[in-house]
Structure 1
């Protein structure tokens, strides 16, 4: 089990809390929401074929997408897992990590978000370093249509996906080789530096001894004090006793489980808000200058 899979799964652990807030929301209107309404918004979609249910919960925060995926056929084992990716012009590209018949798999998947419908793409997959990726995204057929529904209508399926993802995390932790770069004596030193997102090249992170700065497209978005804790406390919304925690004291407190910090790679799992997993590579500070 690779650390990147573990990171993807941990990132979705906080998302289910958002579903409860969305129970009272009405389904989207026929017209697409404006940009402010779309930010940090949780939506649920479902497709029922006979007694076979497919349910998806996604949360959009800017261009970032995270969520749960549940496929529950009536007469055979299904699969449950998590989604993490980004959206551009209504096209979602995501990494889907799931468990099926006791086996953990990760594959690349695409969706089109059209008003109150979510269309899933289907096409030929090929293996790339243990991950199934779409051979030719341009040839995808978007034939599976999930319609938007109140999240309360698919709560059981989404809960099953959350529970399964937690099981996968536990399995990953128990079978991991410990090579995640979390040398606690070097943790502070490994965090300090300038980082570029592997998911969005315009997104940067700069951490020094006193501040945590978010930078996007060369512009500094915020600068906050932070604290590194031995574990994530209850105040973070999810307790992770054996995982170091980066607690950012901004306008709203943000807690990140530190999944990998080996000096060159940084993986942070957001425990509050969207539940996204942020993956970074160290860069030379000269390559990104905030304005």
Structure 2
């Protein structure tokens, strides 16, 4: 009886802790332990002068979801949640950003090079209430550069 209560308590504790949707709370998934790991937490950061960008995400297979925040000097802070998919070395995602006064949905594309994520840039259009790249095949990877960091 004591053994089954202990087992139930361990399982309940695991389930309760896994229900937290905040990716920063997945400490058990903090690092990829081997190439066979298909689910792990990954974090990227960019700090340049007075600008900061932070990404905290959960990778599962070729899918990714997490949070992304932009704190740019003398501009509204943008925080959002995103989901996306890896296509080779390219991350294509949709992010819902919330500022102090509005909410927007935007397509994001990043190029992964070793431990870096380079944000794509290009002409945007509004389509079905979302901001998307006008010509995704012409995205230039000359935007912000985020470096892989330890998740906190």
TM-score (norm 2): 0.77
Match in the other structure for 1:148: 148
Report the structure number with the largest CA radius of gyration. 1
Structure 2: how far apart are the matches of 1:128 and 1:51? 32
Answer whether contact 2:71 2:78 (CA < 8 A) is retained: yes
Q: Determine which of 17, 26, 32 is the counterpart of 2:25.
A: 17
Q: CA RMSD in A?
A: 2.2
Match in the other structure for 1:99: 98
Structure 1: how far apart are the matches of 2:57 and 2:124? 23
Spell out the pairing of 1:51-200 with structure 2 (5 A cutoff): 51-143=50-142, 144-152=144-152
Question: Which segments of structure 1 move beyond 6 Å, counting only runs of 4 or more?
Answer: none
Long gaps (5+) in structure 2? 1-19
Q: C-alpha offsets along residues 208-264 of structure 1, whole Å, 9 cap, x if unaligned?
A: xxxxxxxxxxxxxxxxxxxxxxxxxxxxxxxxxxxxxxxxxxxxxxxxxxxxxxxxx
Structure 2: how far apart are the matches of 1:100 and 1:141? 26
Long gaps (5+) in structure 1? 1-11, 153-291
Answer whether contact 1:22 1:151 (CA < 8 A) is retained: no
Structure 2: how far apart are the matches of 1:123 and 1:22? 34
Shift of 1:98: 0.7
Spell out the pairing of 1:251-266 with structure 2 (5 A cutoff): none
TM-score (norm 1): 0.42
Shift of 1:57: 1.3
Spell out the pairing of 1:181-260 with structure 2 (5 A cutoff): none
Shift of 1:13: 3.0
Answer whether contact 1:70 1:79 (CA < 8 A) is retained: yes
Structure 2: how far apart are the matches of 1:47 and 1:129? 31
